[in-house]
Structure 1
Amino acid sequence: MTRTRLIAALVMAPLAIAAILLLPTPWFMALAAVVFLGGLWEWFDLADVSDNLARAVLLAANLALMVALVWASRSAAGFSFVLLQLVSVLGVAWWLLALLWLGRYDFASDPDSHARAIKLAAGTMSLVPAWCALAWIHGGADPNSPRWVFVALGIVWAADSGAYFAGRTLGKHKLAPRISPNKTIEGLVGGVLAGLVAGLGLSLFAGASLAQLPWIALAIVFAVLFSVVGDLFESLLKRHAGVKDSGHLIPGHGGILDRLDGVLAALPAFAVAKAVLGF
């Protein structure tokens, strides 16, 4: 399994890096929308929506919301990111609520219409703010803005790998045994350290100064911790649905949502922290 995961990562990573660094923001966001909506399609399975017509309508509604946000951000003076920034802040607030949800395992666990509606709303609140945060970071005035997207994603990738290997070699104390039995506190620490090392190195590539590194480190820790919440939240939904993976599209990695879970929470957290801390 580790070999399969590595091969899949070696194929996906160069494509993702090329898209981040080479595509103009509108084209990059269109591509990101396709990927995010693919993840949302898998989310519908976790929310117990099996009817394809209903899924198509729900997917179209979320796409319409994305388009409406872009349309409402246009003006005669040019494109304004204010609305996307506001949605990103709402995304951070949502993930704090999701953290409370993690403490109540049985909440919305029954497959009824009430639970389904809550999980569908959670899907929109997870994916749309992350997409807005991605646009906010990538489309900034700084010529190196696309590189900051690379930083934001790189810390999640590094933290995920660091947590995986630290957990396998050192893990003894369970982090959330009922939600994800394989995750450990040692893995969490290893993930934070790996995210810090990768993020600080990548931030220099993005043009950060040495004086900014302490603030960037704070933002990295903030984003990595949020990514853990996103990862655990998807694990909670999979436990409710009785499945191991959200899909089977990516060999060794499961579905699209299995690769996006931590990213969805980390992107708004990193974008807001970056703005507040001023780097």
Structure 2
Amino acid sequence: MSATLSTPVPPPDVAGEPLELRRDKGTPRFGVGRTLRYAALIFGIVIVLIPVYVLLVTSFKGPGDASPVRAWNLPQIWTLENWKEAWTALSPSLWRTFQMVIPASIIAAFLGSMNGFVLSRWSFRGANTVFALILFGMFIPYQAVMIPLLQIFLDAGIPSGVPSLILLHVIYGIPITTLIFRNYYQTIPHELVEAGRVDGAGMLRTYWSIILPISIPSFVVVLIWQFTNAWNDFLFAVFFSNNQNGPVTLALNNLANGALLQDYGVSMAGALLASLPTLIVYIILGKYFVGGLMSGSVKG
């Protein structure tokens, strides 16, 4: 005797419909909880966008129109002179900032990747101590070491400006990049590394041919993190550069405080120009940032 196989059907309720297929037609589409969540979300968005609105509208106002009293009003006459003046003042420092943040981010990312691989997959005596010492660098305040650090750079003859800032951001970026990559590499199956060893690959070959190609998510996270930190840095710029060779944060400070009569329109346009590159980076790569950050959070 052969039995006929059939897909089980959920038991019907008293109305004759399966329980999991019946929809409660009396339940509102948006409950109180969901409505409150959306209201809180909209409120938060408005709070965040209020400063952006003031920045934007003020950047298009003339000298007589840009004042704290009229901060919330739209421009009486829309003008682009503030943007032209801000671009003229900031364009050289913008180019120097790109020259600084791009190599600093890439170098710190690769050094952190190699450190994370060694500390997560190639165990040696004292590995945990080395990792703890590297992480200790994350908790040293910049202000506590600024004077001796400046003296070391002067004694070593390292030029001020872009070269000094690149080296500083690479050094101070190694702890956080090592942490991110180490956590990510611990989630990679150990069989991948063992397969490379069986095929005769050494540590460098395993890293270059097996680990590096699958490290894109963590590289996205690290590059965004390093790019943003280096771009927005002001303390290092004050100590290790000047108006002629410094980054855009230093030039923006001079633009805002360089005149006896504050020109709010130019200052607002300059602030938007200075923040535009980081905004573009987050818009383009932001969707990969959270995914790459969470990919290394399973183990650590």
Q: Could you tell me the TM-score, scaled by structure 1's length?
A: 0.32
Relative contact order, CA 8 A, sep 6+: which one is greater? 2
Report which of the two has the higher share of helix.
Answer: 1
Report which of the two has the higher share of strand.
Answer: 1
Larger Rg over CA atoms:
2
